[in-house]
Amino acid sequence: MATGLYGNVKLLFVYVAFFIVDSRMGRRQALLISSLITAVAFNTLGILLSQSDDITNDAIGIRQIMAILMLYLFAIGFEIGWGPAVWIICSEIYPDNIRAVCMSLTTTINFVTLAIMSKMTPLMLEQIGWKTEMVFGGISIGIGIFVFCFLPETQGLSLEHMTEAFQGNILVFRKSESGASKNTMSLASAIEAQFPREKAPSVRG
């Protein structure tokens, strides 16, 4: 029953995510909020687990409830951002001529990473216990900082104009309001220069 409820909560917030990511917050803000929520959930759970040996029987029930709530909080935080939104961004940011290849590599790296984490997590729990949650909490903070510094908002941009969003200063929060610097080639621009788009043949009547 608990597993079914957990799955239903995740499914519900996937639908919430598609609503807020597309029409409300945008991709960047959704990922920032998702990183914050998951960091809070992981670190709070780590603190609760670190004190499990020093609590009285009266406090066990409260801490168990809080630990369960943190699991659901993580599910909510993950599904409103890093669950679905990251795939939207990955499908948008690559140049047209190499998008299929890059998406294949992205998907492969994702599943390889998940396989590695599924093997490492039990070992980490065995070796360092509650500190495992702190490690994942730190990772959540780290990826939130990465998004804040390097990922521009892509909501509302056409695929053709996506390259322009990554031009100029590599730090997103230092980009000037007037637009990207004309003298700076972005990573996306460099890729397109290396793999230029093929011009469609003209059709004459």
How does pLDDT run across 45-75, given as a tens digit for each residue?
A: 999 888 866 655 555 678 888 988 999 999 9
Q: Is pLDDT larger for residue 52 or for residue 203?
A: 52
**CATH level 2 (architecture), domain 2-194:** Up-down Bundle (1.20)
pLDDT of 83 strictly over 70: yes
Give the chain's mean pLDDT.
78
pTM over cut 0.85: no
Domain ranges of the chain: 2-194
Q: Would you state the structure tokens that stand for residue 62, as one six-digit string?
A: 């409260």
pLDDT of 135 strictly over 90: yes
Q: CA 164 to CA 181: how far, in whole Å?
A: 10
Closest CA to 66 of 90, 84, 86, 40: 40
pLDDT of 79 strictly over 50: yes
